[in-house]
Chain A
Amino acid sequence: SSELTQDPAVSVALGQTVRITCQGDSLRSYYASWYQQKPGQAPVLVIYGKNNRPSGIPDRFSGSSSGNTASLTITGAQAEDEADYYCNSRDSSGNLVVFGGGTKLTVL
């Protein structure tokens, strides 16, 4: 079982703001990274660290963290943001890697 918990599905109206959350004890010590995965494609890193975006990731994607919860926020969601989103971090020991179960984002 995953040590990181995500809501299975979230929806957002086009142009609105949506927050996707990830909970886990290890997030009190480690930042989550976030991945976007579209059907038939490999995951793409969209957020890492406190709130860092790799080159090429739109600035409507942002990250935050509080206690045992990490959040990915999309401000002004676009149709192309419809995808599965996964969080990822270390486990509580710090030696292993864990993924959340994923959140399916629907843009209405």
Chain B
Amino acid sequence: QVQLQESGPGLVKPSQTLSLTCTVSGGSISSGSYYWSWIRQPAGKGLEWIGRIYTSGSTNYNPSLKSRVTISVDTSKNQFSLKLSSVTAADTAVYYCARDREYSSSSVGMDVWGQGTTVTVSS
């Protein structure tokens, strides 16, 4: 049973870089054909996809965040990470990591989620 766990600072100062890590347990991050995604949710609002990384290391990013986002993978640690630069209060949210599965060429779904971690941007 694959499980995901987010970790990182809960408080980040404006203009600094938010850094989070998602640790995969119960399976190898390199096995299977999965994308590994980051999603965020401001309080009281909907889900926003941030970006994803494939096991090969290729990435896709939300165009609205692309200039500030970097997602990387460390297969030796079974982890993938998110860096979001130049943060503002608008980046305050619960951040989730998730396994993004392609069931077929026309069917995708995020079948495993972390519990989420709250990040507040404030001085």
A residues in contact (CB < 8 Å) with B: 2, 29-31, 33, 35, 37, 42-45, 48-50, 52, 54, 86, 88-90, 95-102
Contact = CB atoms under 8 A, between A and B. Distances in A.
A90 B107 CA distance: 9
Closest 8 CB pairs of A and B: A48-B109, A33-B109, A49-B107, A42-B113, A102-B46, A97-B49, A99-B47, A31-B107
Contacts of A50: 107
Interface residues of B, number: 25
Interface of B: 37, 39, 46-49, 52, 60, 62-63, 96, 100-101, 103-104, 106-111, 113-116
A45 B52 CA distance: 18
A96 B104 contact: no
A96 B111 CA distance: 17
10 contacts: A30-B106, A33-B108, A42-B96, A43-B47, A44-B113, A48-B107, A49-B103, A49-B109, A86-B47, A99-B48
